Amino acid sequence: MHACTEPAELGLYTRPVYNLSREDSTNPLILVCEHASRYIPEALNNLGLDEAAAREHIAWDIGALQLAEQLSQQLGATLLSANYSRLLIDLNRPRHAPDSIPLQSEIYQIPGNRDLDEAAREYRRQTLFKPFHARLQTLIDERIAQGRPVRVVGIHSFTPVYYGQPRPLEVGVLFGQAKDYAERLLDGLQAHPLKVAGNQPYRIDPLGDMTVPVHGDARGLEAVLIEVRNDLLRSPEAVSRWAGYLAPLL
């Protein structure tokens, strides 16, 4: 008898993998929000997390989608945003990165990811990861084929406390090869009374990041990630304030 290779999660991922806004924009900017959603199909029982943990920053980037949507609206720019939690598979990690499907996120164990067989892991890659990045690649390909400029900006947020240590930083611009573009953004942000830094609180790593190295640097395009501390994105007024800081610079 042949072993069953049908993935246990077959048929669970019924909502669209992504939302795409303003696909036909003439703005060179493509906004990407890989950690926009905390949605996990009900059958997976929050991957074994309690409800409070499943609402926390480990499951999504709090406030990032609202900021990305405001920027998209203000600039008339294309926005590609994810519809599933990064705990299922992280869209800003290479497929084979150790934390692509995390067993632990900071202090939280992720029980529902612990005993996944390769069939289930590959099903998440094919169902959630591949369509998102294929769509982003196509958006870029179409604009390049038309001779249009392209700029890729990921919108993220980060937690104000990491492993018990407060983070005073308010906004970071993460970059690899797009140093000139990043420095323009940093200079513009530093004109405001903000705590700003380049490549903080994280650094772009081709072995651990996806959007900037693959869709930006590898194609010779300007590409950065914007990281805003998530306690500064907890109200519509706060989101509007940050959109006001960023929109003129992007």
Spatial neighbors of 55 by CB under 8 A, at least 6 apart, are: 38
What angle do the packed helices 236-246 and 64-75 form, to 10 degrees?
50
CB 36 within 8 A of CB 76: no
Can you give the pLDDT at residue 203? 94
What integer pLDDT is reported at residue 7 of this predicted model?
Answer: 80
Prediction pTM value:
0.95
Q: What does the pLDDT read at residue 1?
A: 33
Rounded CA-CA distance 200/225 in Å is 10
Going from the C-alpha of 7 to that of each of 12, 14, 92, 97, the distances in angstroms are 10, 15, 23, 21
d(CA 230, CA 172): 12
CATH for 18-246, among 3.40.50.850, 3.40.630.40, 3.40.630.30, 3.60.21.10? 3.40.630.40
- Three-class SS of residue 108? strand
* Residue 183 to residue 160: CA distance in whole angstroms: 24
DSSP 178-227: -HHHHHHHHHHHHTSS--EEET-S----TTT--IIIIIIGGGT-EEEEEE
What is d(CA 10, CA 42) in angstroms, rounded to the nearest whole number?
14
Tell me the pairing of strands 29-33 and 161-162.
Answer: unpaired
Question: Per-block average pLDDT, block size 10, for the chain (250 residues)?
Answer: 66 97 97 98 95 93 98 98 98 94 89 94 97 98 97 97 90 98 98 97 94 98 98 98 98
